[in-house]
Amino acid sequence: MKNFFAGKTVLITGVGKNIGREIAEEFFSKETNVIVNDILPVNETEISKKMLLSERFLFSQGDITSIAYREKLIKEALEKFSSIDILINNVGIGSEKGFFDMEPEIMKKSIETNLVAPFFLSQKIAKQMVEKKIKGSIIFISSIHAKIPSGNSDYSSTKSALNMLVKEMAFELGGWGIRVNGIAPGRITDPPVEDKRIPLGNTSGTSQDVANAILFLTNNYQSKYITGEILTIDGGLSLWFDRDQ
């Protein structure tokens, strides 16, 4: 099969480690131009030297919640690669604080990071897709905890809102051939660990499992008629939570 990703350009947020890093490496291996963002300086990330030394790669450090930084990121990306075909909104945070311990600034930061920043970054990227007649793809990394309480109310509530944003954007952008989908991972660890709650093999998933799903959803040969969907990647963990209902 023809390499759909060769020569295309992808922008991925939150790429320093784990899922984000794996996504970047997978796209890079497909001969894609890769632009990545992380709040950490590059020397504190796990990004490979092979990517850092490549002309097909651009690293940008900054806080994605900053309007000025988002404008800078997009400007630098378009100056280097002229267009963006795929956007992966991977960055996300959670405080792990209980309901009564939640403070306004913590909730505000989670909303800004998990919902507001991805919204407006996607808005800008989608506009250039429309202007350049790119039938692009936008992906949001959600969570199974968008539907299942986690004891981490800022994280779960913002991921739930993100799921509706996927559907709203898919509805509005479909006319331009832009597809918008989400990925809802369950327990993801590198390497996998035993977890008796997970029906499929009693083990957690890996960053590779998430990256594989993203490659599927952004490939117009394989998923050209899929939009507005949230694909769960959890080995059946959600079924464990639902078992008594």
Q: Which residues are catalytic?
A: 155
Joined tokens for residue 203: 């083990």
Joined tokens for residue 68: 């000025």
DSSP the chain: ---TTTT-EEEESS-SSHHHHHHHHHHHHTT-EEEEEESS-GGGS---HHHHT-TTEEEEES-TT-HHHHHHHHHHHHHHHS---EEEE---------GGG--HHHHHHHHIIIIIHHHHHHHHHHHHHHHTT---EEEEE--GGGTS--S-HHHHHHHHHHHHHHHHHHHHHGGGT-EEEEEEE-SB-SS--B-TT-TTTTB-B-HHHHHHHHHHHH-HHHHTT--S-EEEESTTHHHHHHTT-
- Rounded-to-integer distance, Cα 97 and Cα 81, Å: 41
38 touches 93 (CB < 8 A): no
